Structure 1
């Protein structure tokens, strides 16, 4: 399904599922104006707070619950992972497009791909904080020996993750860079559901969750989220590192994520697309 502004009689109606630290930035960027796109509705748990946050927009959209997004052409999911299926399933079942921020939750609900296929829906995963996704996808058209990602974050940004709690890791006692997790992308999605969306997207673009290696490093010296991807393939060998400035409201997320979502939306209404 591809939309172009000159082939439609009206803009694409965009619904936002969630108005947290990512959602409010997406709302502001859309409100600034992108030809062919319209911010049509927002779903939020605390609707009064959401209305207050949106009041400063030039064109504040209506706010309601998830059911309110049923009339939107596309839904941007930016919810806690536990609520992911609540919006993903109805959106895909009606044949609409779902843009996913909680990619780790998608790894735990891969049956949604079959639902999208059966209902004519589509799942889009923006690049987010990943550098080199185009090269990874291209490399996977040939034989790939390995793909690994090292994610380095401040200990505070990892607080409360299931892996931290289950292993009684005292993040306040970490005084030097420490590898606190080694495993596959599907294991990382369970261990750090709010911290490993980058690894999940990498897995979906490349070798799959069971063959994508992940290391999580807690480093008290860093003030950015740092991701290093290493690929060994017949067609190319490369290493890509990116340092993401954390979101001021939520250090688990980066400032690049909302901009990546908007860039994905912009591509859908642009007469030209750059990159695979």
Structure 2
């Protein structure tokens, strides 16, 4: 996948939800040095009409065959499938881009597996800004990291933490703090919502020292994140308001982040750490 190679790297996408379809469309339209080789989905027939509109029809394969069909696999699937997607890819020394980052906390041995076989797990910036600054600060000493997330009510519907603790947010009229804990705890309680917190923790001081607050907020229409970082090299804060995609749990910028990540692979100028 080095710049200057004329061979296109094959890309596969696991999951054809809002993110997977947008990334597939971008690859079909053209990203330098890459080609969409295969896709996988729980019900591939559901997507057959959409796939038929692409310029070149990718192969429709079971998840376990994606690692053989591609050099890069993009995980856009439910978090419970992360291990079955990532393990075959990295064990073949290939690259996997993971969006369900929270699942990595429950499958930390996948990093060791990638190291053993020369594979790589890539976590794109996604719905968060400032990962470059966090990564740089982590070379020194980070004293504390806190993230405060506010989400529209529909973006939190069905979260395990709410169900297990009998927290009803359907009819609230003002912002309600529903969680205050670590990034690891947030990932377990809100697996479809807090991948950003896990990405932040992996870039910085880890899932057990990164603090997270989650607010259910009927006054907002965007997924908002505010991060405060104190380190020996800098003290900085970051804020972002993400417009939800057709899936209210996911921001539109997440798919764009994956596309930007793919474009960097062979870009003649690469900006950012």
TM-score, normalising length: structure 1: 0.96
Instruction: Give the secondary structure class of the aligned counterpart of 2:174.
Output: coil
Tell me by how many angstroms 1:191 deviates: 0.5
In the alignment, which of 236, 255, 258 is matched to residue 255 of structure 2? 258
Unaligned 5+ runs, structure 1? none
Runs of 4+ in 1 over 6 A off after TM superposition: none
Aligned to 2:9: 12
Q: How far 1:134 moved relative to its partner?
A: 0.8
1:152 equivalent in alignment to 2:180: no
Structural mapping, 1:1-276, within 5 Å: 3-6=1-4, 8-69=5-66, 70-248=68-246, 250-276=247-273
- Cα distance in 1 between the residues matched to 2:10 and 2:219: 43
- Cα deviation code 1:12-61 (max 9, x no counterpart): 10000111111001111111111201011001111111222222222221
> For residues 262 and 92 of structure 1, what CA distance do their matches in structure 2 show?
21
Report the TM-score when normalising by structure 2: 0.97
CA separation in 2, counterparts of 1:184 and 1:84? 22
CA distance in 2, matches of 1:236, 1:203: 17
The whole-number CA distance in structure 1 between the counterparts of 2:266 and 2:130 is 23
Q: What is the aligned residue count?
A: 272
Cα pair 2:36 2:58 within 8 Å, conserved: yes
Unmatched runs of 5 consecutive residues or more in structure 2: none
Deviations 1:40-99 (A, max 9, x none): 100111111122222222222121211331220000001101111111111111111110
Rounded to whole Å, the distance in 1 between the matches of 2:132 and 2:174 is 34
Quote the RMSD (CA, aligned, Å).
1.0
Name the CA distance, whole Å, in 2 between partners of 1:112 and 1:174. Answer: 40
C-alpha distance in structure 1 between counterparts of 2:30 and 2:252, whole Å: 20
